[in-house]
Structures are given as structure tokens and as C-alpha cells.
């Protein structure tokens, strides 16, 4: 006949020594899980990139701003490492913002001929990222020339949309397919297939919902691009 376990044996399982070992094992596994998971993603934990965090950052930045110019703070985005073929166009658009609208173009360096496709010299990658994000956070609007594909510009546009910053993207349709779609080959005069490859704006930009805060427009030359900027700036001034 089986005997019930003695009271002494039942108590032995819960002796302080056994409980201590169990807790130690539990803590060990928790620490190992945390180590495997790694540190939290700064982009997810940084409150600067929330809309509320941005509003606070903007007010602080403007209060500390001692630069001249009473116009809006514009973050002009254009390709650097993706290619500098459109540098003269960037220069014309930046100058138009400064002269016609008295805008403070935070990223004026985009139009500098001294900055080539390899990027800025004498600056670390981390410094450029932190500086550009600070400019983006404190900007009143983003104007992006998106004809030349650029990973950096795409990243900036995504950040701006998340933070509720008004965005205008302008695409030179003379170099691409104005209605979107796949890139195609332009036929040469002889009807052959050796023409220059035409550009097509990414569907992640072209297909984004068009709202008061995110707009995409096509243009054919610098003068038309300036008119698009004028219309966009008028909507900002009316707010």
C-alpha cells in the first residue's frame, strides 16, 4: 500500500536553498534573452520623431536660432551620393526660395559645387545624420527634387511624413514617365532600342496618398519647378 509523502518530504522542495537556485536560474534566462534581443531601436524610442516631440523640438530650435531671415525654414532635399547631375537645378531652386520667399534653406549645402557624389568631406556619417535630422525636425516644410533617385532623400521623406511636416516632391517628367510605371527605353530616330533609358518615379513616392501634407507634382523645366514651389509656399503662408 502506497504511503502518502511525509510532511517533511513535502516541505523539503520549498527549502530556501531550492527557492534561491530557482530564482537564480530565472534571472539568468531573463538576462540571456535581453542580451540576445540587443538594445532597443533608437528610432523607435526617440521621442523626437513623434509629432508631439517634434513640436517641442521646433519651438526650442527657433528660440535658439540667431540666423538672419524671417522666412520659413525649408529643408531642401536632393541627391548627393545618388548622383550630382542635377546640381545646377538644385542651385536655381534654392536661390529662388531664398530670393523670392526669403526662406531659410537649412540644407543650402545641397547646391554647393564643392560637394561631389562621394558626399561631404571632413564629416563623419554619424555627424551628418544627427545634423540633418535636427534640421528636418526644426523645418517648416520639405521640398524634394526627386528626379535623381536617392536613398537618403527617400529616408528623409518617410521621416517627414511620419512627423507631419508638409512635403512637396517635384519630378522632372521630361526625364521620365510622367504617369509613373516601369522605366522604358526611348526609341532613337532609326526606331532601334539603343535610346537613353528613361527615369520613372518610385511607386513609393508616386503612389503615396496625396494629402495637404504630402504632394507630388511633375514639371518640365526650372521655371515650371519654381512655379510649383511658389504655389506650395503660398499654402504654407496661408496657415
Q: pLDDT digits over 140-199, tens only?
A: 999 999 999 999 999 999 999 999 999 999 999 876 433 344 333 333 334 444 445 567
Residue environment code for 5-25, b if the CB has 16+ CB neighbours within 10 A, otherwise e:
eeeeeeeeeeeeeeeeeeeee
- Residue that wins the pLDDT comparison between 36 and 75: 75
| Angle in degrees, CA 170, 165, 138, rounded to 5 | 110
pLDDT tens digits for 53-97?
656 556 655 554 444 456 899 999 999 988 889 999 999 999 999
The DSSP letter of residue 67 is -
Of the options 3.30.70.20, 3.40.190.10, 3.90.1310.10, 3.40.50.450, the CATH number for the domain spanning 47-237 = 3.40.50.450
Domain extents in the chain:
47-237
Bridge partners, residue 142, by sequence: 75, 167
Alpha-carbon span 90 to 96, nearest angstrom: 10
Model confidence band, residue 40 (pLDDT cutoffs 50, 70, 90): very low
- Residue that wins the pLDDT comparison between 198 and 111: 111
Alpha-carbon span 43 to 89, nearest angstrom: 33
- Residue 2 has which C-alpha cell? 502506497
Most confident segment among 21-25, 26-30, 42-46, 163-167: 163-167
Amino acid at each position: 500500500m502506497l504511503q502518502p509523502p511525509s510532511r517533511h518530504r513535502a516541505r523539503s522542495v520549498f527549502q530556501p536553498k531550492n527557492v534561491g537556485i530557482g530564482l537564480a536560474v530565472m534571472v539568468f534566462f531573463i538576462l540571456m534573452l535581453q542580451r540576445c534581443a540587443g538594445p532597443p531601436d533608437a528610432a523607435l524610442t526617440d521621442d523626437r520623431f513623434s509629432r508631439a516631440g517634434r513640436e517641442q523640438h521646433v519651438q526650442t530650435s527657433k528660440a535658439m536660432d540667431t540666423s538672419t531671415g524671417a522666412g520659413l525654414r525649408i529643408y531642401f532635399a536632393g541627391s548627393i551620393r545618388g548622383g550630382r547631375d542635377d546640381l545646377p537645378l538644385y542651385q536655381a531652386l534654392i536661390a529662388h526660395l531664398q530670393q523670392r520667399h526669403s526662406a531659410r534653406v537649412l540644407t543650402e549645402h545641397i547646391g554647393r559645387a564643392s560637394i561631389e557624389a562621394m558626399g561631404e568631406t571632413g564629416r563623419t556619417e554619424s555627424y551628418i545624420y544627427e545634423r540633418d535630422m535636427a534640421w528636418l525636425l526644426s523645418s517648416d516644410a520639405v521640398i524634394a527634387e526627386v528626379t535623381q533617385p536617392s536613398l537618403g532623400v527617400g529616408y528623409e521623406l518617410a521621416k517627414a511624413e511620419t512627423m507631419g511636416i508638409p512635403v512637396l516632391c517635384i519630378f522632372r517628367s521630361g526625364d521620365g514617365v510622367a504617369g509613373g510605371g516601369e522605366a522604358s527605353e526611348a526609341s532613337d530616330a532609326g526606331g532601334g532600342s539603343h535610346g537613353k533609358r528613361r527615369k520613372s518615379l518610385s511607386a513609393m513616392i508616386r503612389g503615396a496618398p496625396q494629402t495637404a501634407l504630402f504632394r507630388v507634382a511633375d514639371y518640365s523645366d526650372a521655371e515650371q519647378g519654381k512655379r510649383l514651389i511658389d504655389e506650395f509656399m503660398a499654402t504654407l503662408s496661408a496657415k
